[in-house]
Structure 1
Amino acid sequence: MSNLWLVFLAGAAGSMHCVGMCGGFACGLGPAPGGRLASWLRHLSYNLGRICSYAFLGTLAGYLGMLLAGHAGESSMASMVQRGLAILSGLLMLLIGLNLAGFVGRGGHALGGAGAQWLAQSLRTLLRQPGPAAPLAFGVLNGFLPCPLVYAFAAQAAARGTALGGLQVMLAFGLGTLLTMLAMGGLGLWWRARHRSGAIPVQPVVASFLAAPAARVGWRMQGVRAAGAFIFLLGLITLARGVVPMSAHLH
C-alpha cells in the first residue's frame, strides 16, 4: 500500500506534465447542453475514459509480467525471470525519473511519432462531438497517447507480476492526475463562460496549451521534477526487489 501511495503522489505531481500534454484537450472539451451539472458530468466522463485506459494498460502489463514470472517457487527459473523483470523495470523507471527530473535528455519530453499524431487528430475530431459517449471515447483515446509517465508506471505494473497488482498501480496513477485534469476542464468552462459573446473557437484554446510544454513553464516543471523524484524512488524499490534475494524481503 505504501508503494501505491507513492504512485498516487507521483501521479499528482506528474499531473503538471499532463497540463502541458493534455490540458488543452481538457479545456477544449467544453460544456454540455444540459447546464453546469451536465458539463461537469461530461468532464468526469472524459477522465473516467482516460483512467480506464490506464487501468487496461496496467492490467495488461501485470498479466504479461505474470506470464513471464510464472507461479513456481523461489528456487525455480520462474523466480529468476521475476527478479530479472523487476531489475529491468526498476532500471527503466530510474531512467524515466532522471529524464523527468531534467538530468537525462530533455526533462519531461514526450515521445511522439506518427501514432501520436493520428491519436491527436482523433481527439480533435471527438472534441467537436456533442453526444454523451464522445467524452468517454475522447478520454479512452487520450489515455493511449505516448507519455513517459505512463511508460514508467506500466513498467512498475509489469514488475508487480499480477494483473490485479498492475491494475492497482495504474488506477493509483490515474487518480493522482484526476484533480488537476478536472481543474483544467473547469478552466476551459470558465473561459468559455467569460467569452461567450465572442464565441471563441476550440482550436486556439487547445493550441495555446499544446504550444507551451510543461518543461518550459517554471511552476509546471517543478511538478514534473517532483514526479521524476517519486518515479526514481519507486525505481530504486523495484530494482532492490530484483537484486536482493526474495527470501530477504519482509512480507
Structure 2
Amino acid sequence: MNLVALVPVFVVGLLGSVHCAGMCGGIVGALSVAPSVGRVVPVKVAAARAPLANVLAYNTGRIGSYVLAGALAGGLAQGAHALTRLPALQAGAYWLANLMLAALGLYLMDAWRGLARLERGGQVVWRGVKPLLRTIGPLDGPGRMLAAGAVWGWLPCGMVYSVLVTAMLSGGVASGALVMLAFGLGTLPMLLGLGLAGARLRGALARPRVRHACGALVLGFGLLGLARAADGLPHGWVQDLCLAPGAHA
C-alpha cells in the first residue's frame, strides 16, 4: 500500500464533508446529546451541551462502518483479481473512479445532481439498517453513541459511494479498508466541529461560496485523473494527486 496515494482520498473527505453539514449536520448535533432516539434536541441546545466523548464515539462508529464497507468492496474486487490485471479493465476502472470523483465535485457545487439518484437507490440498504437504531436504546453514553454511529455510517450518501468505487478497485480487503479509513478521517474535523459547535458552523458551511469552492477542488482532482487517463499529463508527481486504483494496491 502506497500511503502517499491515500492523501487525495483524505483531502476529498475533508473538502466533501461540507455536504455532511447540509445532509446530517443537525442530526449529528442532536444525536450527540439526545437522551433517546425518539427525542429531537434543537441543534443550538446540542451545541451547548454536547460532550466530546459522545461526539468522538459517534464518529468512531461512523468511520468504522466506512472501513468495513471499504473492506467488503475491496474483497469483492479481490475475488476477480485475475481480471483486474487485464489492461483494458484497469483503464476502465481508472476512468470510472475519476468520473465518480468529478461527479462528486459537481454534486457539491449543485451543478449536477446525478449522485442524488444514487443516494435514492441506496435507500434499499438503509431501510434494512435503520431499524437497528431502535434497538440501541437511549443514547446516554459513549457506548451507545458508538453503536449509533456505526448504524448511521450506512446512511445512503453519494459522497461515500464515489469513494467506495476507489476502495473497490484498490486491490484487496486491507487496501479497501485503508482507502475508506483515509476518507473517514478526512470527514472527521468537519463532523467533530458540527457535533460541538452546531448551528453556527453549519450555517457557515451552507454558504454557496464555500460549497462551490470545495466542489471545484474535488472536481479538479477528478479532471486531473481523467487527463492523466487520457495521457494528457505526465506521470510522476501527478500520480500522487490522482485517485488511481492501481496506486492503492
Provide, for residues 24-80 of structure 1, a one-character-per-residue CA deviation record: whole Å limited to 9, x for no partner: 2221124499xx9x93222211100001111112222223233334388xxxx6343
Structure 1 unaligned regions, length at least 5: 192-208
Paired with 1:107 and 1:115, the residues of 2 have a C-alpha distance of: 16
Q: How many angstroms does 1:239 deviate by?
A: 4.2
Counterpart code for 1:228: G
Q: How does 1:120-199 map to 2 (within 5 A)?
A: 123=133, 126=136, 128-187=138-197
Provide, for residues 119-175 of structure 1, a one-character-per-residue CA deviation record: whole Å limited to 9, x for no partner: 567547758332543111111111110111101111122232233332222112111
Paired with 1:231 and 1:90, the residues of 2 have a C-alpha distance of: 10
Matched, 1:81 2:98: no
**Is contact 1:101-1:224 (8 Å) kept?**
yes
Paired with 2:178 and 2:27, the residues of 1 have a C-alpha distance of: 26
Determine the structure 2 residue equivalent to 1:59.
71
Determine the structure 2 residue equivalent to 1:229.
216
Determine the structure 1 residue equivalent to 2:119.
111
Determine the structure 1 residue equivalent to 2:61.
49
Paired with 2:53 and 2:204, the residues of 1 have a C-alpha distance of: 30
Query: Of the two, which has the highest radius of gyration?
Result: 1
Structure 2 unaligned regions, length at least 5: 36-47, 240-249
RMSD of aligned alpha carbons:
3.9
What is the TM-score of this pair, normalised by structure 1? 0.68
Provide, for residues 70-98 of structure 1, a one-character-per-residue CA deviation record: whole Å limited to 9, x for no partner: 388xxxx6343222222222223322322
Paired with 1:127 and 1:225, the residues of 2 have a C-alpha distance of: 39
Counting matched residue pairs gives 218
Q: Give percent identity, aligned residues only.
A: 35
Counterpart code for 1:85: A
**Is contact 2:32-2:58 (8 Å) kept?**
no
What is the TM-score of this pair, normalised by structure 2? 0.68
Task: Indicate the SS of the match to 1:129.
Answer: coil
The equivalent position to 2:28 in structure 1, one of 21, 26, 29, is: 26
